Amino acid sequence: MKIAVLPGDGIGTEIVEQAVRVLRALELAFEIEQAPVGGAAYEAHGHPLPEPTLTLAKAADAILFGAVGDWKYDKLERALRPEQAILGLRKQLGLFANLRPALCYRQLTDASSLKADLVAGLDILIIRELTGDIYFGQPRGRRVATDGHFPGAQEAFDTMRYSRPEIERIAHVAFQAARKRSRKVTSVDKANVLETSQLWRDVVTAVLALYPDVELDHMYVDNAAMQLVRAPKSFDVIVTGNLFGDILSDEAAMLTGSIGMLPSASLDVRNKGLYEPSHGSAPDIAGQGIANPLATILSAAMMLRYSLNQPEAAGRIERAVDAVLSAGLRTADIWSPNTTKVGTREMGDAVVAALRGKALTRS
């Protein structure tokens, strides 16, 4: 099993280091190879996704990714900015299916900004289409307007587009995931306004015919944003396009009070995947050793389950994380009174200890 490890920028290096320690503690036959990505790769090779990094990612069975980005790269032209690395990996590796669970840990119910009873037991899976939509649609660019409200003015434009097969394959991913859960899918679109959304709705409805045991409802994205904070537990699987999924998955993550806890998977047609925490590179706290490594550690667990066919090892990591939380260990982002504040490395130590079956004690 070959794993490409791409730590990236900011807290990326710190949290990935802990996830790699956890993977090694499993004592399975992994071949782990590391390469720079994002701003770190720009510094080293002049490009956020240099050829050797892309080649390594293509050759691996799975990719563990930290985070990319730093304010200091904001002035670079778009093609050289760190974010292009993750967009490039998604596109070049065909990682069209993004799975973002929003799970509220019972030990962390009070960390949510919503009332505890609204989020206790929350378990949503957002499935975001990841290689289409306005993110990648051509044409895009800048030009001088020849029509519209201000002919002759400079304008910019992007193209929202989806093809039937692109929608079909993500719909299958959603319905199949629903079968392993409570068989309920909410498809989110803006079909009252957008052509792409109308096609989305038609295609998702057509694919449902192959899944008579699954329940489907459709919801406009504005309403979905509202329902997510009104009654989040009314959702189970949400399937949506790239742009809406970007926004709703951040919203859903925050419901759990702890974006530092949430893993994600981005899969291709054969379940090869890139695994990364749902949060970003947090340059404001980089290098301080206080970032929460659990989202990355849980991403490694997802990697074992979805791409490396090691569900038992995945379960071991997830139980270890649960044990660490039950022992009251918390990084700063999830700390509350009466719990023990620990740093990034100590949190990694605790998960490794729990994996090895050592009893955890509160210091």
Catalytic residue IDs: 135, 190, 222, 246, 250
Using CB under 6 A as the binding rule, whether residue 347 contacts ligand IPM is answered as: no
Binding mask 239-278 for Mg ion (x = CB under 5 A): -------x--------------------------------
Of the pair 88, 257, the CB lying nearest ligand IPM is at 88
Of the pair 87, 254, the CB lying nearest ligand IPM is at 87
Interface of this chain with ligand IPM, residues 214 to 253, rule: CB under 6 A = 246
Using CB under 6 A as the binding rule, whether residue 322 contacts ligand IPM is answered as: no
3-state secondary structure of 164: helix
250 contacts 258 by C-beta, under 8 angstroms: no
69 contacts 281 by C-beta, under 8 angstroms: yes
What is the CA 121 to chain-centroid distance, rounded?
20
Using CB under 5 A as the binding rule, whether residue 168 contacts Mg ion is answered as: no
Q: How many residues bind ligand IPM (CB under 6 A)?
A: 4
Partner whose footprint covers residue 332, from Mg ion, ligand IPM, none (CB < 5 to 8 Å by kind): none
Rule CB under 6 A: choose which of 86, 207, 262, 321 binds ligand IPM: 86
Using CB under 6 A as the binding rule, whether residue 83 contacts ligand IPM is answered as: yes
Of the pair 83, 215, the CB lying nearest ligand IPM is at 83
25 contacts 56 by C-beta, under 8 angstroms: no
3-state secondary structure of 49: coil
Of the pair 215, 246, the CB lying nearest Mg ion is at 246
Q: Residue 215's beta-bridge partner residues?
A: 184
Residue nearest to ligand IPM (CB): 83
Distance CA 10, CA 286 (A): 5
Of the pair 1, 87, the CB lying nearest ligand IPM is at 87
CB of 68 to ligand IPM, least distance (A): 7
Residues 6+ apart with CB under 8 A from 357: none
3-state secondary structure of 152: coil
Using CB under 6 A as the binding rule, whether residue 87 contacts ligand IPM is answered as: yes
Distance CA 18, CA 13 (A): 9
Helical segments of the chain, H only? 12-25, 39-45, 51-59, 83-92, 116-119, 164-179, 195-208, 221-230, 242-255, 294-306, 311-326, 344-355
Q: Name the helix (H) or strand (E) containing 215.
A: strand 215-220
Binding part of the chain for ligand IPM, among 83-91, 115-123, 143-151, 295-303 by CB under 6 A, reads 83-91
CB of 101 to ligand IPM, least distance (A): 14
Q: How many residues bind Mg ion (CB under 5 A)?
A: 1
Report in angstroms the alpha-carbon separations of 101 from 43, 125, 236, 260. 33, 4, 10, 12
Partner whose footprint covers residue 86, from ligand IPM, Mg ion, none (CB < 5 to 8 Å by kind): ligand IPM
CB of 249 to Mg ion, least distance (A): 7
Distance CA 357, CA 354 (A): 5
Partner whose footprint covers residue 87, from Mg ion, ligand IPM, none (CB < 5 to 8 Å by kind): ligand IPM
- Angle subtended at Cα 122 by Cα 86 and Cα 202, rounded to the nearest 5 degrees: 65
CB of 13 to ligand IPM, least distance (A): 17
Q: Residue 98's beta-bridge partner residues?
A: 128, 266
Q: How many CA atoms lie within 13 A of 290 on its CB side?
A: 11
Residue nearest to Mg ion (CB): 246
Binding part of the chain for ligand IPM, among 52-60, 70-78, 80-88, 158-166 by CB under 6 A, reads 80-88
Of the pair 81, 330, the CB lying nearest ligand IPM is at 81
User: Contact residues for Mg ion (CB under 5 A)?
Assistant: 246
User: Contact residues for ligand IPM (CB under 6 A)?
Assistant: 83, 86-87, 246
